[in-house]
Structure 1
Amino acid sequence: GIIEMNHPDNKNHLYKAVMRDGDILLNRIQKLARVINA
């Protein structure tokens, strides 16, 4: 519900999850870029 969504811990958890997924995606893009440039 609304109370859970407004809880700081849930926002922090979501933020960390997004950042982790972003790092994984960035690593994949960097590896792909190396293959293309090689």
Structure 2
Amino acid sequence: MDHVIATAQAERTAILRRHHTDAWLAERSRTAAGGDNA
């Protein structure tokens, strides 16, 4: 049972990290393209 919980937590962490990275990359590319934050 503990293994199942640990796996679920690891998957959720990976998803959150990937989402954060995607948002960060989008912000970087928007800035590089001369967006609001340039």
TM range, normalised to the smaller chain?
0.7 to 0.9
TM-score (norm: length of structure 2): 0.80
What residue ranges of structure 2 are gaps of 5+ in the alignment? 34-38
Q: Which has the higher helix share?
A: 1
Question: Normalising to structure 1: TM-score of the pair?
Answer: 0.80
Identity of aligned residues (%): 3
In structure 1, list runs of 5 or more residues that go unmatched. Answer: none
Q: CA deviation at 1:34?
A: 0.3
Q: How big is the shift at 1:27?
A: 0.4
Q: Structure 1: which 4+ aligned runs deviate by more than 2 Å? A: none
> How many residues are matched?
33
